[in-house]
Amino acid sequence: MKVANNTNQFPVITISGEPFERGRQHGAQLKLKIAKTIDFYRSIFKLPESEIMRYAEFFQQLIDSFNTGYIAEMRGIAEGAKVDPLWIVALNARTEILSRSTNAGNECTTVYFPQSSILGQNWDWGKALEPLTVLMKIEQSDGHEILMLTEPGIIGKIGMNNRSLGVCLNILTQDEELDGLPVHIILRAILDCKSLAEVEALLDRHADGKASNIMVADASGKGFDIEFCGADSYRLKPHSDYLLHTNHYLAQSINSEHNPDFSSSYARFNKATEVLASNIARDARAMHELLSDDSDPVWPVYRDYRPDESVHELGTIFTVVMELAHGKMHVRKGKGPNARFFEYRLT
């Protein structure tokens, strides 16, 4: 695997072994980055630390009931990074905790091309996290491997595995309290799956208590999109030769296009639809072009950092394009004159 050796690439770290040991390696290698990630979320949770810890205790019990290995991995991270284990739980439940304190629904554009098994997205979030983000390879004792882009301290995010499964994420917004299994734990569980059927069974069992959109696909051209909406969830399949999602619900009229909180989401969705209609190619180059579109002067798909009340400054932290049939991942860091794609492979 190519290792990042300049500031235009994200650092690449590899962790291996049993859960606690993997976590310890994660924490030790990213100790300073984890501390800065905690500082970032402490600043945007806008909650007393005692309340954050109370939520973390609740989600810790939920995660432990789901998979004790994930809690062991988090405890390993905490030991390696020398931080309170509950803060690592809080990072992994950060989407659910954020829903209690702020509206953070203006991020990410995700697309899937079934005919070429290409899945990609822009991850738009707080500028402070761009220098902290890493590309992580997880090597498990049974030969299962994961390659994902993640925030330090978080055990599951956007990526693919060596079973040719890939997953992407968009945050969504609705009014119910989010008290289900955290979405980042679901992402890791998906990346631990060995087939799309296994993913579907997982999501059938753990669909409640979240407000996010997950797009999952495999190398055969099969894939689906699921919108989590509190107690409900909605499955979406490709309506033509692509799947597209931003940050408003598509299956139900929940987020109005007349609500200014969703202006960015609707603008990016409409622009992406326009680009897809004008370019019939459904290959990696077409995905690169779509996720590089900055023609909308106000709400572009590919975004410069701008002031944002929820995360201080919001823009595109990374672009990822996964060629699932070939085990390739193309990653671009940020936006600017030196930003370009680098290719990585799972062996």
Give per-residue pLDDT as tens, 28-66. Answer: 999 999 999 999 999 999 999 999 999 999 999 999 999
In angstroms, the CA 249 to CA 216 distance is 17
Q: What is the mean pLDDT of residues 228-248?
A: 90
Q: Delimit the CATH 1.10.10 region(s) of the chain.
A: 12-98
The confidence score (pLDDT) of residue 69 equals: 98
Q: What is the rounded average pLDDT for all residues in the chain?
A: 94
Q: Say yes or no: domain 12-98 is CATH 1.10.357.
A: no
pLDDT of residue 166: 98
Write the secondary structure of the chain as one string of H (helix), E (strand) and C (coil): CCCCCCCCCCCEEEEECCHHHHHHHHHHHCHHHHHHHHHHHHHHHCCCHHHHHHHHHHHHHHHHHHCHHHHHHHHHHHHHHCCCHHHHHHHHCHHHHHCCCCCCCCCCEEEEEHHHCEEEEEEEEEHHHCCCCEEEEEECCCCCEEEEEECCCCCCCEEEECCCEEEEEEECCCCCCCCCCCHHHHHHHHHCCCCHHHHHHHHHHCCCCECEEEEEEECCCCEEEEEEEECEEEEECCCCCCEEECCCCCCCCCCCCCCHHHHHHHHHHHHHHHHHHHCCCCCHHHHHHHHCCCCCCCCCCCCCCEEECCCEEEEEEEEEEEECCCCEEEEEECCCCCCCEEEEECC
Percentage of the chain beyond pLDDT 90 is 86
Provide the whole-model pTM.
0.96
pLDDT in tens, 251-273: 988 888 989 989 999 999 999 99
Residue 136 Cα distances to 152, 153, 174, 339, angstroms: 10, 11, 31, 20
Domain covering 109-345, topology: Penicillin V Acylase; Chain A (3.60.60)
